[in-house]
Amino acid sequence: MSIMSFSDIEDPVLLSPSQLVSSSKLSKNLGAYLEKIKKRPVFITREQEVEAVLINIDDYRELLLEEQRVEELYYAVLALRRLVEHFKSPKALVDTDDVLKRFGLTREEVEGVPDDAVDG
């Protein structure tokens, strides 16, 4: 059984010729292309190969939010899988209070930690 790589599937990027610009043309006309990206991304080519994409900041922020949503969904699925495995397994889970005691913590101390301090 082989693992499918990105090169084995069709490129999901759909673009029109009007969205292509060479890196040299982009450097000479950056202002014009900054206006164009307000409507749609611009794909930057070098030696007739697409090397990069220029998108507006709002689209970039949306991509970052979508990435965060996907990551949160992944962790939710992982947690559910572990929960299912727990119910299928005769092993007992470690009690939260036992873990806190081992590290010399109390529930109150842990609940008082701001979320951003835990996220790193």
| Sequential pLDDT tens for the chain (120 residues) | 344 444 545 666 777 888 899 999 999 999 999 999 999 999 999 998 999 999 999 999 999 999 999 999 999 999 999 888 878 876 766 788 888 888 898 888 878 766 666 555
* Domain extent for 26: 17-55
Residues 65 and 28 in one domain: no
* Residue 9 in domain: no
Residues 71 and 106 in one domain: yes
116: β partners: none
The full DSSP string for 41-79 is: -EEEEETTEEEEEE--HHHHHHHHHHHHHHHHHHHHHHH
Residues 72 and 48 in one domain: no
Residues 25 and 47 in one domain: yes
Residues 40 and 74 in one domain: no
How many structural domains is the chain composed of?
2
Residues 77 and 105 in one domain: yes
Instruction: Tell if the pTM clears 0.75, that is, is over it.
Output: no
